[in-house]
Amino acid sequence: MQFQDFSTYNAVTRLAALARDPHDLTAADGLPSQRVRDFTASFCGFDLLYATQRISPEVLGTLQDLADEAGLVETFKAMKQGAVLNRIEGFASENRQVLHTASRDVFDEAPEAPEAAAKAKQELSKLHAFLDDIKSCRLVNANGQTFTTMVQVGIGGSDLGPRALYIALKSFSLPGRAARFIANVDPDDVAEVLQGLDLSRTLFNIVSKSGTTLETLTNEQLVRAALIREGLDPSRHLVAVTGEGSPMDDATRYLGSFYMYDYIGGRYSATSMVGAVTLGFALGYDAVIELLQGAHQVDRAAEQRDIRSNIPLLMALLGIWNHNFLGHATIAVLPYSQALARFPAHLQQCDMESNGKSVTRQGQQVAWQTGPVVWGEPGTNGQHAFYQLLHQGTEIVPVEFIGFRQNQYGLDLEVEGTSSQQKLVANMLAQSLALAVGKRDDNPVRSFSGNRPNSVLIADRLTPRLMGALLAIFEHRIAFQGFCWNINSFDQEGVQLGKVLAGQLLRLMTSNSQIQPEDLEDDGREKMLLQQAGML
């Protein structure tokens, strides 16, 4: 498979010329009703309203040309079929397939990656049996009581995605079931989570692909010590999600092991056993299947070449337009749904760890901008916090709004003629409109420049199936952008240097350390840092 430098595409040259005079949303005819109708896409239960982006029909057509010229859909299909895309040509790299889609490609008789899909089916069967044992009281604690809580212990992709999904779908929890999460190596995180738990009725799900993740193993030891203090046998309260054959794949220390595979990156692993075990415990097996079905529907639909019918591809190209051609360095993901409170944090990792790269697939320095800074918080809370900068700041921040026409719990009432959900959606649409068209006022502090690009992704109600679809939409948006920028979106070498230096500092902090001067990066530097920080 051949990849081409982003700057060499013909469509890039044309887009650069079009960007010198982008569509003016504040003009008298900048946002007519016909434009709103024309610039709306429907896809897998979602509608994308993108008339409030600074694009013209010509720009949209040229973005389509870019997608075709770069072969984005072809590369996406190759990824799902098992092409080795996690690699840098001519340099040492992970050299792996990228098959997170296989974890939900278990519903087709002819899956695109048969071997990986078969392994996913096997793990789902193990999970089904495990959850059935809990439900039927075949798996109970030493006193014959059922388990009521599962605590997931992991970090990065072993925490952010599963945590975001659980919070998003908490309203669908089984009666008497709950999940909690431990990630930070800060011992206060463990202490706060364990506080108030009935440990005798708690399962701990320890998640580490390698079985050697320092933060996770440290927190596991704190959990084991807490169980022992309560007179409980840790091996009857811990399960593992890990690589087959890893140090954690040990039946003497865990109730059981569920496997994760090296072709599924951590930040793309929420629909594998990394997320499914805890979600299955809290929400039930059927909810997990619905989540996977929603993601799988998007996996299939994202193969469409027409960007007007393919929301992940369209969002990717709109992001490239804003970032590479209009020069906007960040993007805010603002869900108008309290259930999605942690979804921006998951997307922050998924996007910035994937596309925060500065070398091409051939190991050369890029000559164009790659991934933007991604951030966000739920609305309407954010309106009373950082929206001031969004509307009138010197930094223009493109926005991706997410909303739902109905709430999850069904608890609502009318106040002054409208329900809370109506107020929520009205606020989201009003913010979208205000950012786009602005407002002129003789008083400069009450003048809004407008032309702040944004889009609205909206669906009926956040369910497990729609959550799976939403997750996959953003996963594929990120991958499409990485393909277009000619970077490897599936490694994360940038996290390694800090880990190495942390190990050196920890060895210095050990009282019986035998570390030699030649092991240090710079003679005395690490020791001086520790002394100045009051840690030595």
* Catalytic one of 220, 290, 353, 400: 353
Q: Which CATH homologous superfamily contains domain 118-293?
A: Glucose-6-phosphate isomerase like protein; domain 1 (3.40.50.10490)
What are the tens digits of pLDDT across the range 242-286? Answer: 999 999 999 999 999 999 999 999 999 999 999 999 999 999 999
What pLDDT is attached to residue 513? 56
Residue at token pair 């922050």: 348
Q: What's the burial of 5, exposed, middle or buried (CB within 10 Å: 0-12/13-18/19+)?
A: middle
Task: Report how far apart, in Å, the C-alpha atoms of 248 and of each of 3, 224, 241 are.
Answer: 38, 14, 8
499 carries an active-site annotation: yes
The ranges assigned to domains in the chain are 6-70+302-487, 118-293, 497-532
Instruction: Please indicate whether residue 123 is annotated as part of the active site.
Output: no
Average pLDDT for 106-122: 95
**pLDDT digits over 130-149, tens only?**
999 999 999 999 999 999 99
Pinpoint the alpha helices (H) of 71-213: 72-80, 114-135, 160-168, 187-194
In this predicted structure, what is the pLDDT of residue 511? 61
- Tens digit of each residue's pLDDT (9 = 90 or more) over 411-431: 999 999 999 999 999 999 999
CATH of domain 6-70+302-487: 3.40.50.10490
Q: Could you read off the pLDDT of 201-223 as tens digits, one per residue?
A: 999 999 999 998 999 999 999 99
Please list, in sequence order, all residues whose beta carbon lies within 8 angstroms of the beta carbon of residue 454, skipping any fewer than 6 positions away.
52, 53, 398, 399, 400, 401, 431, 432, 435, 436
Spot the catalytic one: 115, 439, 493, 499. Answer: 499
From CA 77, how far away is CA 80, in angstroms rounded?
5
Q: Which of 384, 395, 416, 518 is catalytic?
A: 384
Number of residues that make up the chain: 536
pLDDT above 70 covers what percent of the chain?
A: 98
Mean of pLDDT values over 178-195: 97
Arithmetic mean of pLDDT, 92-104: 97
234 within 8 A of 253, measured Cβ to Cβ: yes
pLDDT for the residue 519: 55
Q: How far apart (Å, rounded) are the C-alpha atoms in residues 533 and 536?
A: 8
> How far is it, in rounded angstroms, from Cα 316 to Cα 280?
31
pTM confidence score: 0.96
pLDDT score at 531: 81
Whether the CB-CB separation of 291 and 465 falls below 8 Å is answered with yes
pLDDT digits (tens, 9 = 90+) for 495-533: 888 888 888 888 888 865 555 555 555 557 878 888 888
Active site residue 128: no
- The crossing angle, in degrees rounded to 10, of helices 114-135 and 273-283 is 30
Same fold, 6-70+302-487 and 118-293: yes
Of the candidates 291, 293, 311, the one whose C-alpha atom is nearest the C-alpha of residue 302 is 311
Average confidence score pLDDT of the chain:
95
* CA 76 to the chain's CA centroid: 18
DSSP codes of every residue in 308-369 = GG-HHHHHHHHHHIIIIIS---EEEEEEE-GGGTTHHHHHHHHHHHHH---B-TTSPBPSS-
